[in-house]
Amino acid sequence: MTSQIASPDRPRTIVAIGEILWDLLPTGPQFGGAPANFAWGAASLGQQATQVKLVSAVGMDRLGEQALDSLGDRSIDRSFVQRNQAATGTVDVHLDDRGQASYQFAEDSAWDHLAWNPELEQLVQTASAICFGTLAQRHPDSRATIARVLETAPPAAMKVCDLNLRAPHISKDVVLFSLQQAQLLKLNDEELEFLAELCDLAGAERELLQALAARYDLHGIALTRGSQGALLVEGQQIVECPAKSVPVVDTIGAGDSFTAAYLVGRLAGWPLTKIGDWASNVAAFVCTQAGATPELPARLRPSEFASAASQKADDER
């Protein structure tokens, strides 16, 4: 089920579709949105072997201009970021004493009105993977466009659903549609509880994940659990990924960076244990930084991390 690594002359194309917004933090606005955070992570981790295309929309306003500038600074292809008359998205972010974030999203934002067009259709035909979520489907306009993207994608394209449930923007119909479309699923422990109730599933954590995989023919599931680490499930293989002990500044974007590493590692054909270790290290580093898209250190680049992991394995033999 795992795709092979792309040849140097034909880099794989990862398409992220959904919201662009500004996280309004106590320390000031930070560029974000789960698909944008994911795109940054995939571009940073995939390096020359990966082209990352972000499909979203911003307004004809100052925040829209700043968002486009931020994308350029992060080496993300912004040519598929549309502009419309709605305001650029924002979200009020509240941090508790552990750095855990809660969110209040502005209504009727530019990303709610993603439009289908010939350029987007052509892009989708080149995709090696498409990452989407449920929040971006809260409005009928973007919901219809995301559905068309998924329906138009070539059979070989890996469809990755980052569930990203954000109250009050939770639709059971959207969640079920997304599960039916996905081959890979990323969710957190609270979202697993929601799915268990929605799908009338019972059992321990691992049993729930395997039941979801079987019901929706998922190739793999990544479950993040904060300080309890993560679980990766692929068929009968279950990999426990212990949490890394780090000083937490905030958790914004940590899950998105985990998703990026999970997908990039999987496309590269890495073993699941190595993918889990890499994704956990990437997410842990993001937690030590303010905001969702810090510059990653060289040790987390795939070649450096792979070399260090090999050396560690040799030392342990």
Residue 144: is it exposed, middle or buried by C-beta count within 10 angstroms (0-12/13-18/19+)?
middle
**296-308: burial string, b at 16+ Cβ within 10 Å, e else:** beeebebeebeee
For residue 316, the model assigns a pLDDT of 54
pLDDT (tens digit, 9 = 90+) per residue, 142-189? Answer: 999 999 999 999 999 999 999 989 999 999 999 999 999 999 999 999
Helices 205-216 and 172-181, axial angle in degrees (round to 10): 70
Q: Given CATH 3.40.1190.20, say whether it is the number of domain 12-304.
A: yes
CA distance 111 to 105: 12
| Strand ranges, E, within 129-273 | 129-133, 158-162, 184-188, 220-224, 230-234, 237-241
Query: Which residues contact residue 171 at a Cβ distance below 8 angstroms, ignoring those fewer than 6 apart?
Result: 134, 137, 138
Q: Give whole-number Cα distances, 122 to 15, 125, 126, 149, 244, in Å.
A: 12, 5, 7, 10, 41
Q: Per-residue pLDDT averaged across 22-43, rounded?
A: 89
Q: Which of 236, 247, 317, 312 is nearest to 278 (CA)?
A: 312
Per the prediction, the chain carries an average pLDDT of: 90
- 312 pLDDT band, cuts 50/70/90, is low
**93-123: burial string, b at 16+ Cβ within 10 Å, e else:** bebeeebebebebbeebbbbbbebeeebeeb
pLDDT (tens digit, 9 = 90+) per residue, 197-256? Answer: 999 999 999 999 999 999 999 999 999 998 899 999 999 999 999 999 999 988 889 999
Enclosing H/E stretch for 29: strand 28-32
Strand-pair category, 28-32 with 21-25: antiparallel
For residue 192, the model assigns a pLDDT of 97
Query: Which residues contact residue 99 at a Cβ distance below 8 angstroms, ignoring those fewer than 6 apart?
Result: 248, 249, 250, 251, 287
For residue 28, the model assigns a pLDDT of 83
Q: Per-residue pLDDT averaged across 99-126, rounded?
A: 92
Beta bridge partners of residue 93, listed in sequence order: 103
pLDDT (tens digit, 9 = 90+) per residue, 290-310? Answer: 888 888 999 998 888 877 766
Strands across the sheet containing 220-224: 81-84, 50-59, 12-17, 129-133, 158-162, 184-188, 220-224, 230-234, 237-241
pLDDT (tens digit, 9 = 90+) per residue, 69-87? Answer: 988 877 788 899 999 999 9
Name the one residue in this structure whose structure tokens are 């990966």: 50
For residue 94, the model assigns a pLDDT of 80
Distance of alpha carbon 212 from the chain centroid: 19
